[in-house]
């Protein structure tokens, strides 16, 4: 296919080529992969500023999306690439192949740098979904930091840079510029831009930004960062969000309230306990969905309200394909049993073949887990409806999953996102939290938005 870039795509490509360190906060659907590959092609064969390139991406994006884009565009046909995923032997074979671009999944960054016994000779690194390096304590972050001084050019790509607040930004930019802008130490970053929030005596549980922190942080990173929103540059389909509330019976409600109140729930076939607030939140989310794991790992049934609502929404789709986002393993098992009993064809979307079937319109219902298929996959050809059976606290995974359908190339004029929520439960808190986190992220993107 012939590549005919939009103005914003040309601008972003030039920005990558002009800056040895670049961070592109590109909204989902703006074509960040094609933009980056075009810049890499020019750096390899025009200016000769790049010679050996490593792309780090989520597994399915590394395996499917980057190769698909390389094969798709006519002007990239001369680029030689090698995908290093799979077994250790397969990864090593891929890395020994002669290529311009090597693509590896982020889970194997530590293996590549510390365990593969292969020299790290990449002068250019692309980190697709930079936000997955937001934890400075993670093994992948520490490993990549060891190799970072050898890298002459680095490109960070994400649509969700600060999904859990401004604190996320330190590790991401520490990786990009080795601490030039936001400091080399997380403690100093906290001192400069945050104040303690929740605490117990001398123990600090969380921090909140100082009144001027947002603007000062944005000013610091503005010279290497551009942001663009899809709604500014593309004719996006209309996005319609809706809640489908369900109510538990009095007996089901009493079980939920007892768990919330006592942190222990006694059932006829076992006991369920929550050790702390995080564990309680997890248990309440499960119960709102209709089942909960016991202390022994067995699943206890609570209600079928969300399954009934899901069946109603699928029926209302009247044969049109729908994507269903689930969170817990028992959600998947219960949804699968219900769909089988109603003879509704479905498939879990976790393989290249299932993704291809969805895009060909062959799946009536596709079951998707946000953590495994939320980033980078092009799924807009298969349908225009997402149903959230169980919600996630992660704004990044929530937005990225929705963006599989609400993006450039969507044939429908409207994308519909349904949220099945249990009334007067933690579901309502999750919806509110996602909304509040979005305001912080929107402020960041607006602050460094490219003026074209």
Decide: helix, strand or coil at residue 447: helix
Measured distance CA(330)–CA(301) in Å, rounded: 10
Q: What is the pLDDT of residue 120?
A: 94
pLDDT band, residue 140 (cuts 50/70/90): very high
Sorted by sequence, the CB contacts under 8 Å of residue 144 that are 6+ apart come out as 56, 109, 113, 125, 127, 133, 175
pLDDT tens, position by position, 299-310 = 889 899 999 889
Measured distance CA(195)–CA(335) in Å, rounded: 44
7-232 and 238-247+304-433: identical CATH topology:
yes
pLDDT band, residue 351 (cuts 50/70/90): confident
Q: Which CATH number fits domain 238-247+304-433: 3.30.565.10, 3.40.470.10, 3.40.50.300, 3.40.50.11540?
A: 3.40.50.300
pLDDT tens, position by position, 386-396 = 999 998 888 88
Domain 7-232: give its CATH code: 3.40.50.10810
pLDDT band, residue 409 (cuts 50/70/90): low
pLDDT tens, position by position, 166-214 = 888 999 999 999 999 999 999 999 999 998 877 777 777 778 889 888 8
Measured distance CA(372)–CA(96) in Å, rounded: 28
Measured distance CA(306)–CA(365) in Å, rounded: 16
CA distances 226 to 8, 24, 212, 311, Å, are 11, 5, 21, 43
Q: How many Cβ atoms are within 10 Å of 410's Cβ, its own excluded?
A: 19
Domain boundaries, the chain: 7-232, 238-247+304-433
Measured distance CA(90)–CA(68) in Å, rounded: 19
Higher pLDDT, 260 or 230: 260
* Angle, alpha carbons 8-10-13 (nearest 5°): 110
Return the axis-axis angle of helices 186-193 and 213-221, rounded to nearest 10°: 130
Taking the whole predicted model, whether its pTM rises above 0.75 is answered as no
pLDDT band, residue 447 (cuts 50/70/90): low
**pLDDT for 281 beyond 90:** no
Measured distance CA(22)–CA(357) in Å, rounded: 36
Decide: helix, strand or coil at residue 385: strand
CA distances 364 to 8, 345, 359, 385, Å, are 36, 6, 11, 11
């Amino acid at each position: 296919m012939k590549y005919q870039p939009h103005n914003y795509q040309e601008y972003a490509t030039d920005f990558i080529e002009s800056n040895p360190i670049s961070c592109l906060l590109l909204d989902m659907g703006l074509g960040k992969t094609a933009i980056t590959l075009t810049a890499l092609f020019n750096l390899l064969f025009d200016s000769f500023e790049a010679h050996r390139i490593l792309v780090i991406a989520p597994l399915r994006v590394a395996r499917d999306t980057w190769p698909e884009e390389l094969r798709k565009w006519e002007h990239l046909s001369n680029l030689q690439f090698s995908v290093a995923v799979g077994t250790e032997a397969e990864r090593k074979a891929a890395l020994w192949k002669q290529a311009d671009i090597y693509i590896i999944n982020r889970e194997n960054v530590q293996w590549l740098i510390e365990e593969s016994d292969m020299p790290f000779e990449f002068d250019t690194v692309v980190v697709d979904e930079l936000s997955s390096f937001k934890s400075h304590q993670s093994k992948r972050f520490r490993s990549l930091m060891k190799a970072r001084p050898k890298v002459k050019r680095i490109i960070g790509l994400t649509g969700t840079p600060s999904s859990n607040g401004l604190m996320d930004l330190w590790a991401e930019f520490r990786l990009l510029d080795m601490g030039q802008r936001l400091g080399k130490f997380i403690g100093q970053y906290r001192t400069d831009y945050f104040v303690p929030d929740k605490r117990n005596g001398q123990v600090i549980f969380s921090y909140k930004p100082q009144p001027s922190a947002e603007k000062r942080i944005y000013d610091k990173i503005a010279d290497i960062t551009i942001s663009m929103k899809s709604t500014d540059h593309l004719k996006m389909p209309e996005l319609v969000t809706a809640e489908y509330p369900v109510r538990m019976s009095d007996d089901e409600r009493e079980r939920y309230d007892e768990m919330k109140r006592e942190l222990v729930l006694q059932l006829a076939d076992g006991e369920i306990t929550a050790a702390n607030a995080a564990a309680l939140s997890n248990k309440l989310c499960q119960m709102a969905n209709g089942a909960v794991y016991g202390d022994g790992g067995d699943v206890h049934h609570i209600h079928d309200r969300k399954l009934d609502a899901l069946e109603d929404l699928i029926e209302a789709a009247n044969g049109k394909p729908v994507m269903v986002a689930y969170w817990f393993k028992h959600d998947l098992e219960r949804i699968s049993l219900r769909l089988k009993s109603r003879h509704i064809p479905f498939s879990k979307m976790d393989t290249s073949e299932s993704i291809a079937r969805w895009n060909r319109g062959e799946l009536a219902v596709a079951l998707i887990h946000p953590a495994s298929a939320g980033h980078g996959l092009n799924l807009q050809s298969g349908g225009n409806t997402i149903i959230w059976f169980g919600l996630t606290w992660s704004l990044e995974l929530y937005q990225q999953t929705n963006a599989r359908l609400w993006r450039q190339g969507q044939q429908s004029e409207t994308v519909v996102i349904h949220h099945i929520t249990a009334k007067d439960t933690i579901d309502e808190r999750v919806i509110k939290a996602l909304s509040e986190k979005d305001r912080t992220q929107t402020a960041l993107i607006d602050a460094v938005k490219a003026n074209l």
